[in-house]
Structure 1
Amino acid sequence: MGRLFYFFYQYRAFFTFLALEFCAAWLIVRNNQYQSTKFFNSSNRLAANIIGTAQGVREYFSLRKINVELAEENARLRTRLEQRNQSLYHLDVREIDDPGIINRFDFVSAKVIDNSTGRFKNYITINKGSLDGIAPGMAAISTAGAVGKVKSVSGHYAVLISLLNTGEFTSSVIKRTNHFGSINWNGKDPRYSQLNFIPRHAHPVVGDTVVTSGYNAVFPQGILIGVIAEVGLGPEAQFYDLKVKLAQDFSSLAFVEIIRNNLMAERDSLEQATIGPPK
């Protein structure tokens, strides 16, 4: 405390000068209209900038909560939209009253807590599990497009097989021509995948959209996968060599939605009873 008093005493002339300067400035502002207006305009701008900066800092730290809320709201809206779409079909646009059809798909939002893109077989971990109704075999999508499918679950977590997995094949279709094939990553560039088994008479072109076919019980029909970036066809080849630019940038994946197909068990049991289990 003594050092503080000594400091002020040692520089008393300087602090006296500052006090007099402040008083002089205040008297000028108080007794002159022009200076008063300029001062208060400047102080208002300064205060507004400080308040805006503080608000920006608060908003930045609240972004995580906002993103979670938006992801959950997006999942709810997808569920409602899918229920509406399933309640109509395109023969006579007749209404369907079967709740199993209308409520065929449910969507559960989840946050990505682990992700890899640099391996041959990449996986994604999310913060939702069996307690949230998630089970192996369910599809995972993002706001951009298809992501993968659930491989294993615990009570609070699930591990997804990413589309960036050399062992994962996703039934797909070229939207313009309706020719179907299979998306399979070759383990090289995580921005691109390969579309296989498109016959030479299909005539795909760069820019064609590739979506899920809906031919299996995992993905609904029409989920965006990507856009054809390169088209190749050998002289004697029966199938095209197609390079697809993936819609989802897996290096920035933060949230996913898990699609729960409420008719999956019925379809699987019927197909197994008819054609036998997959080999």
Structure 2
Amino acid sequence: MVQNNQYQGAKFFNSANGLAATINNTSQNFRDFLSLRETNQRLSEENAYLKRKLEQRNQSLYTLNVREINDPVLINRFDFLSARVINNSVHQFKNHLTLNKGKKDGITPGMAVISADGIVGKVKVVSDNFSVVTSLLNIDVLTSVQLKRTSHFGTVQWDGANTENVNLLYVPRHVQPQVGDTVVTSGYNSIYPDGLMVGTIDKVDLKDEALFYDLRVKLSQDFRKLSYVAVVKSNLREEQDELEQLIDEK
């Protein structure tokens, strides 16, 4: 009937073409969806590369302008390795996340983990192919930070409550912090590069006769949405740790 009747034939082929187009479109959308992981991986690797180059540039400017020498060791002080988060907890008092990179990729315990939005945590244990990271959302984790506007130092610590906030400790009463002030890493350890985003102050309180402020920081990284991160390798960490250990022993 389709072959011998012009009207029915036209209707059939129009319907068939429409169905084929819908199937092709659905197939392409599915292929595009499957390619998102590869695309995200490439973007994450590119982001890690750009972070590495930015850190090298900053160290180079410091070396040339302040020390007036070109020190390749300082220029290459930090390196960045992209990794994907394959497991993540946020509702415990001591949260951890798991990465799809391990010893084979050069990751060792103690390395810092960051994202495009801010700091994430520190590598705790590794196997050949995986790493477990102690999250910033861990009541035992203390991280040295700095108020970007005033350059004063403090420490952030999670209290086990809201996953969007941490407390900023040990900021003395003469500092006068403000809501909206940016909080960044201080560089006062050999793990994190200085100046990495932590968050912004969203609550300021100072009790009578208190030595320090009660400050709350809204984290720049939403830990419920972690996907790709960068593991930070400090190439001078071992040297710094050994030197500081000698001081402790004397």
Relative to the length of structure 2, the TM-score reads: 0.90
Counterpart selection for 2:128 from 147, 152, 155? 155
Deviation digits for residues 204-257 of structure 1 (CA, Å, limit 9, x no counterpart): 111000000000111110000001111111011111111111111111101110
Counterpart selection for 2:6 from 12, 19, 23? 23
**DSSP-derived class of the 2:233 partner:** strand
Equivalent residue, structure 2, for 1:55: 28
Q: Is the CA contact (8 Å cut-off) linking 1:87 and 1:96 kept in structure 2? A: no
Q: How far apart in 2 are the matches of 1:206 and 1:217?
A: 29
Report the Cα offset of residue 180 of structure 1.
Answer: 0.7
Relative to the length of structure 1, the TM-score reads: 0.81
State the AA in 2 paired with 1:159. Answer: V
Label 1:100 to 1:176 Cα distance change in 2 as closer, same or farther (>3 A): same
Equivalent residue, structure 1, for 2:82: 109
Equivalent residue, structure 2, for 1:137: 110
**DSSP-derived class of the 2:179 partner:** coil
Is it true that 1:82 corresponds to 2:55 in the alignment? yes
Equivalent residue, structure 1, for 2:237: 264
Structure 2: 5+ residue runs without aligned partners?
none
Is it true that 1:171 corresponds to 2:154 in the alignment? no
Structure 1: 5+ residue runs without aligned partners?
1-15, 28-39
Q: How far apart in 1 are the matches of 2:234 and 2:17?
A: 57
- Higher relative CO (Cα under 8 Å, sequence separation at least 6) belongs to 2
Label 1:82 to 1:44 Cα distance change in 2 as closer, same or farther (>3 A): farther
Label 1:240 to 1:276 Cα distance change in 2 as closer, same or farther (>3 A): farther
Equivalent residue, structure 2, for 1:5: none
State the AA in 1 paired with 2:226. Answer: L
Label 1:91 to 1:50 Cα distance change in 2 as closer, same or farther (>3 A): same
Counterpart selection for 1:225 from 194, 198, 201? 198
Q: How far apart in 2 are the matches of 1:136 and 1:24?
A: 73
Counterpart selection for 1:120 from 81, 93, 111? 93
Q: How far apart in 2 are the matches of 1:95 and 1:110?
A: 36
Deviation digits for residues 167-199 of structure 1 (CA, Å, limit 9, x no counterpart): 000000110011111010000001111100011
Is it true that 1:206 corresponds to 2:206 in the alignment? no
State the AA in 2 paired with 1:125. Answer: T
Label 1:270 to 1:220 Cα distance change in 2 as closer, same or farther (>3 A): same
Quote the RMSD (CA, aligned, Å). 2.6
Report the Cα offset of residue 142 of structure 1.
Answer: 0.4
Report the Cα offset of residue 99 of structure 1.
Answer: 2.0
Q: How far apart in 2 are the matches of 1:128 and 1:148?
A: 15
Equivalent residue, structure 2, for 1:188: 161
State the AA in 1 paired with 2:7. Answer: A
Q: Is the CA contact (8 Å cut-off) linking 1:209 and 1:226 kept in structure 2? A: yes
Equivalent residue, structure 1, for 2:208: 235
Seq. identity, %: 52
Report the Cα offset of residue 95 of structure 1.
Answer: 6.0
Label 1:45 to 1:78 Cα distance change in 2 as closer, same or farther (>3 A): farther
Equivalent residue, structure 2, for 1:64: 37
**DSSP-derived class of the 2:168 partner:** strand
Label 1:95 to 1:60 Cα distance change in 2 as closer, same or farther (>3 A): farther
Q: Is the CA contact (8 Å cut-off) linking 2:64 and 2:70 kept in structure 1? A: no
Q: How far apart in 1 are the matches of 2:147 and 2:139?
A: 21
